Chains A and B, each alone.
Chain A
Amino acid sequence: MKAHASRLIAARLGLALLTLLIVSAVVFGITGLLPGDAAQQALGQAATPEAVTALRHQFGLDQPALQRYFEWLYLVVSGNFGTSLSNSLPVSQLIATRLPNSLMLAGLTALVSVPVALFIGISSAMFRGSLLDRVLNVLTLSTVAVPEFLIATIAVLVFAVKLRWLPALSYLSEVSSFGGLLRIYAMPVMTLCCVLVAQMARMTRAAVLDQLNASYVEMAILKGASPMRVVLRHVLPNTIGPIANAVALSLSYLFGGVVIVESIFNYPGLASLMVDAVTNRDMPLVQGCVMVFCAAYLLLVLIADLAQIVSNPRLRQR
């Protein structure tokens, strides 16, 4: 009886793959086709035309664009992103050393922010219109609008400079104990959490309110169910889908947020690798990083979609 659900899941999966394909074309189009070219850049302005032509041939830049795209795509699918121009290491190896660090940061952030945000969102929806709700509304509205680097600089100013509790930069080599872990990750995680919690709480609140306006809630209240019971037993199961969506969307914001946070705290993650690559105009490395970011984003959205399908009995059992 689950043919419908599995067909839906298959459609979502196909859509995600199609999107990834389009993304790869866009990324390759921007980085590989339009600007001058890599051979000229690698050799500098003073290079002789012959040398440039020779290097162009060596890079395969004299091939037609479409052919180059498909060759590149073939290599990417098989896990080979090419060689970094700035330190001639394989891009996939560079990404592999940095990715776990970024995942660690993202994982810790999610671990802290999701429960806090759900708590804030649900309680402000329960007490809608109250002073608590209004204060939380203004607070989250303001936090969303503050740039990460402001939060990060204030955090450094307070905790590293004034109080001297935490180091201003993250050196992962020092992690040996739980306390050390806490000291390293406290500030980056805190900075990321600030904006994330605000976003997620607002979306959660909207999702819960959406359900609170439904007629079955009125029915439950008329039956005499307590407000607590209405929210926990009647409303929450129905909001799993929208909330999963909200969480995924907010977490996907992480991919933008880490760009700033990793460079401020000098954290050796994927995003700071990418910023360095952009500064050095190291195209293969940039391409590789973007593809990893987009794949991660699509994976998150896919998981949220699946949660929505699985949590909805109407979709699950038809």
Chain B
Amino acid sequence: MNRPANSSIHHPGTELYDMGLDDIVNDLAVPEPELAGPKPGVLKRLHRRFSVLGLIGLVLVVFWLIIAVIGPWIAPYKSGALSSVDVFAGSSHAFLLGTDYLGRDMLSRILYGTRYTVGLALAAALMASLIGTFFGLIAAVSGRWVDEILSRLFDALISIPSKVLALVVIAAFGSSIPMLMGVAALAYIPGAFRISRSLAVNLMTLEYVQVARARGERLFYIARVEVLPNMIHPMLADFGLRFVFIVLLLSGLSFLGLGVQPPNADWGSLVRENIGGLAEGALAVMMPAIAIATLTIGVNLLIDNLRRRGGRGQGAAQ
């Protein structure tokens, strides 16, 4: 018998982007003839694949990814250097984004922090997606009991709100970089599991999978060759969303003082450190917050765009 693809408990956030068919239909209203003859220029092709908002998202994401890699090299000061006696200074030539509560250069602090925010979240999102997809595939291809047990287990994990789960683990193990990465991954594995499982369960009912089964292929082969390649695209979109949620989770933890510990700082800790400058509206507290917002909004715009426009190429598969 075929199993239901969805059960009662959903992961908060995963439904947010169920835009439905109509958006794809909407976008199709813009005529898009396949150009014959000379190949369209790069700009034109970009424009065809991305809306203006999607392009803004792409630029923001690429920008922060590059900063995450080269940030420490282009930073004008060392991360912890006390470079000014003036605390919470405004923007000046020497300090483009002002100084923080100890008189450190804010631009350098943010550039160094990018590695923690982006890098940690990227690693955690990767772990969550890989592990979740792995178990989702196992649940979908193997027998009823394995599926039932895995589903119950991950449903239980889902019912602990991610921030609360993170707090429990930090209470038990303390806060360190590997621990933060682990806990963020742990909190979002169940979501990835649910999505990959329901995708795989739907794929398992298709004819070519039935044929492969009838041929006598092993389960591992079916999972790897028949099912996995067909769920890559939605899983990539899901990966982007998971990344956003993890960025928000980790910076929230850092904001509470339970995330990345001083002297290192991600953007969340930077907001926390400089919260004293809030009354003066200091740049030091606004800039890291803006950095977080631009990163997450950028990813969201990009994913939203990819889902709508990407639906066209792959639409038939779903």
Task: Out of B8, B161, B173, B293, name the residue touching A256 (CB < 8 Å).
Answer: B161
Contact of A145 among B20, B26, B281, B296 (CB under 8 A): B296
The answer to whether A202 touches B251 (Cβ under 8 A) is: no
Residues of B250-266 at the interface with A, using a CB-CB cut-off of 8 Å, are: 251-252, 255-258
Residue-wise, chain A 138-159 has the 8 Å CB interface mask toward B (1 for contact) of 1001101111111001001100
User: Is B238 positioned at the interface, with any CB of A under 8 Å from its CB?
Assistant: no
A69 within 8 A of B: no
Tell me, yes or no, whether A26 is within 8 Å of chain B by CB.
yes
Q: Are B15 and A129 in contact (CB under 8 A)?
A: no
Chain B interface residue count, CB cutoff 8 Å, equals: 57
Interface SS, A side = helix
Task: Looking at the assembled complex, report how far the CB atom of A212 sits from the nearest CB atom of chain B, in whole angstroms.
Answer: 8
Chain A residue, CB-CB nearest to B153: A22
B159:A23 contact, CB within 8 angstroms:
yes
- Determine how close the nearest CB of chain B comes to the CB of A68; give it in whole angstroms: 15
Q: Which residues of A contact B65 (CB under 8 A)?
A: none
A87-95, A103-111, A178-186, A242-250: which lies at the interface: A242-250
The answer to whether the Cβ of B289 comes within 8 Å of any Cβ in the partner chain is yes
Please tell me if the beta carbons of A23 and B20 are within 8 angstroms of each other in the complex.
no
Min Cβ gap B254→A in Å is 10
A141 and B304 contact, CB distance less than 8 A: yes
Tell me, yes or no, whether B275 is within 8 Å of chain A by CB: yes
What is the chain B residue whose CB lies nearest that of A147?
A: B248
Residue of B nearest to A278 (CB): B171
Nearest CB in chain B to that of A281: its residue: B171
B256, A259: Cβ atoms under 8 Å?
Answer: yes
Q: Are B244 and A15 in contact (CB under 8 A)?
A: no
A141 to B299, CA, bound (A): 10
Identify the stretch in A52-60, A228-236, A294-302 within 8 Å (CB) of chain B at 4 or more residues: A294-302
* CB-nearest residue of chain B to A305: B8
B10 CB within 8 Å of chain A: yes
Contact B20 A206 (CB under 8 A): yes
Closest to A287 in B: B168
Q: Give the nearest-CB partner of A275 in chain B.
A: B256
Q: Which of A116-149 contact B (CB under 8 A)?
A: 128-129, 137-138, 141-142, 144-149
Q: Once the chains bind, are B12 and A150 in contact (CB under 8 Å)?
A: no
A32 to chain B, nearest CB (A): 9
Count: A-B pairs, CB below 8 Å = 177
| CB–CB B172/A35 < 8 A | yes
Are A255 and B164 in contact, CB atoms less than 8 angstroms apart? yes
- Decide if B292 is an interface residue (CB 8 Å cutoff): yes
Write the nearest CB–CB distance from A161 to chain B, whole angstroms. Answer: 5
Taking CB atoms and an 8 Å cut-off, the chain B residues in 8-63 that contact chain A are 8-10, 12-13, 15-22, 26, 53
Tell me if A148 and B252 are in contact (CB < 8 A). yes
User: In angstroms, how far is the closest chain B Cβ from the Cβ of A190?
Assistant: 17
Residue pair A128, B26 in contact (C-beta under 8 Å): yes
Contact of A213 among B20, B159, B160 (CB under 8 A): B20
A19 at the interface (CB under 8 A from B): yes
B169 engages A294 (CB within 8 Å): no
Q: Which of A23, A141, A147, A275 has the most CB of B within 10 A?
A: A147
B170 touches A278 (CB 8 A): yes
Cα separation A275 to B255 with both chains bound (whole Å): 12
A301 touches B161 (CB 8 A): no
Instruction: Verify B8–A138 contact, CB threshold 8 A.
Output: no
Partner of A34, one of B53, B172, B278: B172
- Whether A297 touches B159, Cβ cut-off 8 Å, given contacts A209-B20, A213-B20, A278-B258, is yes
B123 is an interface residue with CB less than 8 A from chain A: no
For A84, list chain B residues within 8 Å (CB).
none
Q: B134-192: which residues lie under 8 A (CB-CB) from chain A?
A: 152-153, 155-157, 159-164, 167-173
**Can you list 8 contacts pairing A with B, beta carbon distance less than 8 Å?**
A22-B156, A138-B53, A146-B293, A150-B271, A255-B161, A277-B171, A279-B257, A286-B171
Can you name 14 extra interface pairs (CB under 8 A) apart from A18-B152, A141-B300? A15-B8, A19-B156, A30-B168, A138-B53, A146-B293, A146-B297, A150-B293, A199-B16, A249-B10, A249-B15, A252-B161, A255-B161, A277-B171, A293-B161
Which 5 pairs from chain A and chain B are nearest by CB?
Answer: A22-B156, A145-B296, A256-B163, A278-B171, A206-B18
